[in-house]
Structure 1
Amino acid sequence: MNTLLSIETRNAVLLRMAELLEQERANIIAINKTDLDAYDGDDISMFDRLKVDDAKVDEMIKAATHLASQKDPVGVERFSFKHDNGMQVYNKTASFGTVLIIYESRPDVTVEAAGIAFKSGNKILLKGGKESLRSNLKIVELWHQALKEQDASKDWVEYLQFNRTETQTFLEKPTQRLDLIVPRGGERLIAFVKQHATCPVIVSGRGNNFVYVHKEADLDIALDVIMNGKSKISACNAVDKVLIDENLPNKGEFVKRLISKLKDFKIEVLGDETISKENGLEAITSDDIWYEEFLDYKILIGEIASNQDTIDMINKYSGGHSSSIITTNETAAKTFMENVDTAAVYHNASTRFTDGGQLGLGGELAISTDKLHQRGPIGLQHLVTNKWYVHGNGQIR
């Protein structure tokens, strides 16, 4: 096991990483282009996540710089207690040890998620998808250079070039110590990791997020929030389902406005029985579609009787990620927010804010839909476990 690197060394590596990303910007983008050209799939959201342009490099640099400026998450005192017998007891945060990040298509994860795990004192194992291999290897090369320049072992960041079978074997029988696994990708990847892993897994779950337009909604806000929710279809915080209160005044007119705006943006609009009949839309043939995360230019609009019915519907069908109520009624908003079982609940705001950077964490390792350990965006301060430090002078029980 690697001895914990001092916070000065960890920060110096991150700052050097930011400089190297800037220096190698053109190379990274050119190498990424070979990954993009080689991608032969038809998954548009995968292609979107695979792409590295100037803006993506800027984000990576910002993430590394910001991480270097944050407080050390390791060794933070969480609790202290003086025992009757004179022992001094502390509980402090501690690093996990070795974190494996398994991810699809997103080369920025190689900087952002790895950076968070590194700053919190962990050794990083990276297993990216084959579609982004060249981009990932280039970025890992920069990690190694930054580590070497600070006299730190290259082992702190290791890239695993495994195929699916080798990955499965490694998950079932790791050839080195493994304390935590973070899968970043679709439901198939997460299911695969959960099935085979022999250590804890942080589940970065699916989206399938809902917006509820309450009968006392400000309709301009409703329109903006729904449209913004569809502004990036590859994001797990995108909106897939819209529920409209049947008692909304001018409901028909609002739905028509919404549908026409969505169609302007080439978004396919589906409706439940009522909405499709009233607006000449394609009707859904099975309620199972309410469970589906689209990751596509597609949205489903339905009519709902009440706030309580909405809460029940979201709790049944959503991915446990994000949901939003649009209303001017504070009591209705409070009831919705307290009872909807998603990691983030919004009142008159877009679900697109479920993101570590946007919620003040500076970045995120993943967005967890699990309830244990940490729920929602997992920032630097959450990627730690804890440890008891007990100081005595010969006490026995």
Structure 2
Amino acid sequence: MNETLIKMGQRAQAAEQELMLLDTAAKNQALLQMAQDLLAAKEEIIAANQLDMQQAVDMPKKFTDRLLINEKRIEDMAAGLKTVAQLPDPVAKIDRGWYTADGLQILQKRVPLGVIGIIFEARPNVTVDAAALTFKSGNAVILRGGKEALHTNAALANVLRQSLSDQDLPKDSVQLITDTSHETAGDLMHLNDYLDVLIPRGGRGLIQRVVKTATVPVIETGAGNCHIYVDKDAQLEMAQAIVVNAKVQRPSVCNAAEKLLIHQDVAAAYLPVLAKSLRAHGVELRGDERAQAIVDMQPATDADWDTEYNDLIMAVKVVDSFDDAVKHINAHSTHHSEAIITDNLASGQAFLNRINSACVYINASTRFTDGSQFGFGAEIGISTQKLHARGPMGLEQLTTIKYQIIGNGQIRH
């Protein structure tokens, strides 16, 4: 086993024990100071990011968009730290309490998961988001980012660790693996003696590799083959605004819409308008035969229906009915985020009930599937599985429960 990782795991466990002793006020003050220190170090962070951007010059735009760090994005990271500081501390929460027939008092209390490992791709903001959420929830974190963002991640982690050290707090609450080899990533996936959970954050390939390889418990996150269904009772103007926003506002992220389904009753009238609006933003459309018969576009292949593009590409399908739309989405979705555009209350409610995804919308953009938009301050990722957590993972999702039982001499008969 990798000795460096073992030592990091040991330091993380020691840091987590110290975090357990911190009260909410101390954690909040530390987060506010980390935000100030991040802003103060913006020039060195941007300089480090430029080194990564120079090496990524031949990468596609969807990749460099996630990689880029500028002053605005640093301000957003700092704002995220401040927001997390203002949120309720889940570790201070008792979910419920009761007395048994034997007179035992039982308290169900929130406690940290422990040591969390996070494997992520070229998304440097994850370094700060993860540090904020894990620290506030009393967890230590070991981060392993992609090699493409190594300089940026290192600069961000150094600022956060130095901030903790300056406040006499355990800097090993946040650790970054600087060896980005596949061998080290593989070792991290088997660090069972030190990691309590492993969270992959990135594209479908990364997530599936971690899920299939890791022996550490994994929370599956991220891959977003998201759908918007324009129902026969939809308003065209609303559909136009939502579809364009969901596809083009930031196409490289997992909550961007990748597929457009449209009811046959409105397809002839609505699809030309939607297609024109999407193409005005540079979106390439790929359609089934019925969509192609209405608007000239590239033919969609079978693979298109299961592809997360993270790009200005959208596949379009004309469906016979509401039921066909639901069946298609549940068959091809990654169970991330889906939306229906409709004025029919019964159809909207049926969509909410029947779609098997973490986040299901009526008349709103899928781009709202985001921890900060949900009021969580930031997110550790968006879980697309059902066990432990589902949807955007904020502070409470980084805790588990402990039962505390208080008696006065009871024995069981």
- Do they superpose with TM above 0.5? yes
Distance 2:334 2:212 in 1: 19
1:257 counterpart residue number: 273
Once the two structures are superposed, the pairs formed by residues 214-229 of structure 1 within 5 Å of their partners are 214-229=231-246
Q: Does 1:39 align with 2:75?
A: no
Corresponding letter in the other structure for 1:192: R
Q: Could you say which residue in structure 1 is the equivalent of 2:292? A: 276
Counterparts of 1:227 and 1:95, CA distance in 2: 40
Q: Percent identity?
A: 36
Kindly state the Cα deviation for residue 40 of structure 1 after the two structures are TM-superposed: 4.7
Instruction: Confirm or deny: 8 A CA contact 2:190 2:216 kept in the other structure.
Output: no
Aligned to 1:240: 258
What residue identity is the alignment partner of 1:344?
C
Q: Are 2:283 and 1:267 aligned?
A: yes
**Structure 1 counterpart of 2:167:** 150
Residues 284-341 of structure 1: per-residue CA shift (max 9 Å, x gap): 2x32311111111101111001111111010001111111111111011111111011
Residue 342 of structure 2 corresponds to 327
User: Runs of at least 4 residues of structure 1 off by over 6 A?
Assistant: none
Q: 1:138, CA displacement in angstroms?
A: 0.9
**Which whole-Å CA distance do the structure 2 matches of 1:173 and 1:93 have between them?**
25
Are positions 1:211 and 2:228 aligned together?
yes
Match of residue 67 from structure 1: 84
1:305 paired with 2:333, answer no
Partner Cα distance (1:380, 1:172) in 2: 25
2:384 aligns with 369
Pick from 74, 77, 81: which aligns with 1:57? 74
Q: Which residue, 102, 122, 127 being the options, matches 2:119? A: 102
Counterpart CA distance in 2 for 1:260 and 1:177 is: 53
Other structure's SS at 1:247 match: helix
Q: Deviations over 1:46-77 (max 9, x none)?
A: 21110001221111001111111112111411
The residue aligned with 1:29 is 46
Which residue identity does 1:170 align to in structure 2? Answer: L
Question: CA-to-partner distance for each residue in 1:190-222, whole Å, 9 max, x for gaps?
Answer: 112112222211111311111111111100000
TM-score where L is the length of structure 1: 0.96
The match for 1:318 is 333
Partner of 1:91: 108
Counterpart of 2:259 in structure 1: which amino acid?
Answer: K
- The amino acid of 1:236's aligned partner reads C
Alignment of 1:166 with 2:184, yes or no, is yes
Q: In the alignment, residue 242 of structure 1 is paired with which amino acid?
A: L
- Bigger mean CA offset, 253-262 vs 94-103: 253-262
Moved more, 192-201 or 96-105: 192-201
In 2, are the aligned partners of 1:5 and 1:121 still within 8 Å (CA)?
no
Paired residue total: 393
Asked if the contact 1:18–1:61 (Cα under 8 Å) also holds between the matched residues in 2, the reply is yes
Give 1:393 shift: 2.0
d(CA) in 1 for partners of 2:21, 2:53? 36
Paired position in structure 2 for 1:183:
200
Contact 1:9 / 1:150 at 8 angstroms: preserved in 2? no
- Equivalent residue, structure 2, for 1:382: 397
Please tell me the root mean square deviation across aligned C-alpha atoms, in Å: 1.4
1:116 matched to 2:128: no
CA distance in 1, matches of 2:400, 2:118: 17
Counterpart Cα distance in 2 of 1:389 and 1:298: 52
Q: Secondary structure at the match of 1:334?
A: helix
Residue of structure 2 equivalent to 1:288: 303
Unaligned stretches of 5+ in structure 1? none
Structure 2 letter corresponding to 1:19: Q
Q: Which whole-Å CA distance do the structure 1 matches of 2:353 and 2:134 have between them?
A: 32
Structure 2 distance, partners of 1:140, 1:281, is: 46
Equivalence for 1:134:
151
Offset of 1:86 from its aligned partner? 2.1
- C-alpha distance in 2 between matches for 1:280 and 1:60: 42
1:104-123 per-residue CA deviation (whole Å, 9 max, x = no partner) reads: 11111111122101110011
Q: Describe the superposition over 1:226-256 as per-residue Cα deviations: whole angstroms up to 9, x where unpaired.
A: 10011211111111111111112xx323211
Q: 2: distance between equivalents of 1:9 and 1:151?
A: 11
TM-score (norm: length of structure 2): 0.92
Using the alignment, how far apart are the partners of 1:84 and 1:337 within structure 2?
41
Range with bigger deviation, 33-42 or 309-318:
33-42
CA distance in 2, matches of 1:282, 1:228: 22
5+ residue gaps, structure 2: 1-12
1:12/1:150 contact within 8 Å kept: no
Aligned mate of 1:346, from 340, 350, 361: 361
**What whole-Å deviation, never above 9, does each CA across 1:84-143 have from its counterpart, x for those lacking one?**
222211110100110011111111111112210111001110111111111111111111
User: Are the equivalent residues in 1 in contact too, given 2:189–2:198 (CA < 8 A)?
Assistant: no
Describe the SS at the equivalent of 2:107.
strand
**1:299 & 1:328 partners in 2: Cα distance?**
24
Quote the offset at 1:271 in angstroms: 1.0
Q: Secondary structure at the match of 2:373?
A: coil
Letter in 2 for 1:200: P
1:142-177 deviation digits (Å, cap 9, x = unpaired): 111111122122221111123111220232245x51
What SS is found at the alignment partner of 2:260? strand
